[in-house]
Amino acid sequence: MASHGPINGQLVVFLHGFPEFWWSWRHQLRALGDAGFLAVAPDLRGYGDSDKPDPRQGGYDIATLAEDIALLIKVLQSERGHAESAMVVAHDWGGAIAWALAAVHPQVVQRLVILNAPHPLAFRRSLWRHPSQLFKSWYMVMFQIPGLTERWIAKDPVTAMARSFLGAAGKRSAFARTDFAVYGERIARPGVAQAALAYYRSIPKFLALTDSLARPIACPVLTLWGRKDPALGDFLAPEAQHWCSGPFEVRYFADAGHWLQQEEPEAVNVELLEFLC
């Protein structure tokens, strides 16, 4: 887990996506920490330096992942003698976890910022309402095949990461070869690829959690969305409002793709500071 900022600052928890780790928030950690927040970015379950339970035993379903973050927030706040809620900023799979966290554990989420991550129920509905999204999600089907993607990553982790990031980027110039080396080293660690793919292999379970995920989210929500995301249609961003009872805003970035906080770090930081302050 990485952190930056004063120990008594307002807590902001950043949740990364696939196939990343805390480092994907490096630009935001510094900006918010320097602004007086205590900015914290954990490695999600199975990634980086976090615990890596055997995927064959479960533990990568959305409910369990949301419980991980709820407990993390409670522990961090308790250690500082603060109230248990925090600001949560999340991207991709971190965003899916954050939507569930705000619905099932509302007491720990004060404000929520989502980057290119649809509400799980909006995503489920899109698969039959928007045929284009079904086509965009082809890779999720490939990820269901045990061993296939793991072998592809293991063969050349740096190239695998380069193809993954550049293939979904709107601004390819935002990434350097050294970035792919960093991500490649982390995804190649024992057990990480298997754990990361277990998130996708748990999709049937979390899409069945209709009752808990449908609970209205009352905290203020800001959704930031790169329009050039090839994996997620931008029509998904406003659909989350159906499950939000509190203030809800969407901001689009015309030239950015899926990796919004890395493609448009300065603009994202401006939005975060305006919304969280």
Residue pLDDT, tens place only, 26-52? 999 999 999 999 999 999 999 998 999
Between strands 11-15 and 2-4, the pairing is: unpaired
Note the pLDDT of residue 206: 64
Note the pLDDT of residue 210: 67
Note the pLDDT of residue 146: 87
Note the pLDDT of residue 208: 62
State the average pLDDT for the chain: 94
Radius of gyration of the CA atoms of the chain, in A: 17
Which residues are tagged catalytic? 92, 200, 258
CB 61 within 8 A of CB 199: no
Question: 3-state class of 110 per DSSP?
Answer: strand
Q: Give me the residues paired with residue 252 across strands.
A: 225
Percent of the chain at pLDDT > 90 equals 81
Check pLDDT > 90 for residue 87: yes
Our CA angle for 170, 171, 173, nearest 5°, is 150
Q: Which of 247, 22, 255 is nearest to 112 (CA)?
A: 247
List the chain domain ranges. Answer: 2-276
Q: Is the C-alpha dihedral spanning 117, 118, 124, 130 positive or negative?
A: negative
Note the pLDDT of residue 207: 62
**pLDDT one-digit tens code per residue, 13-33:** 999 999 999 999 999 999 999
CATH topology of domain 2-276: Rossmann fold (3.40.50)
Our CA angle for 148, 152, 156, nearest 5°, is 165
Check pLDDT > 70 for residue 254: yes
**pLDDT one-digit tens code per residue, 141-194:** 889 888 899 999 999 999 999 999 999 999 999 999 999 999 999 999 999 999
Check pLDDT > 80 for residue 205: no
Q: Where are the alpha helices (DSSP H) in the chain?
A: 26-34, 62-80, 93-104, 120-129, 131-136, 138-142, 148-155, 157-167, 177-187, 192-201, 203-206, 210-213, 236-239, 260-263, 265-276
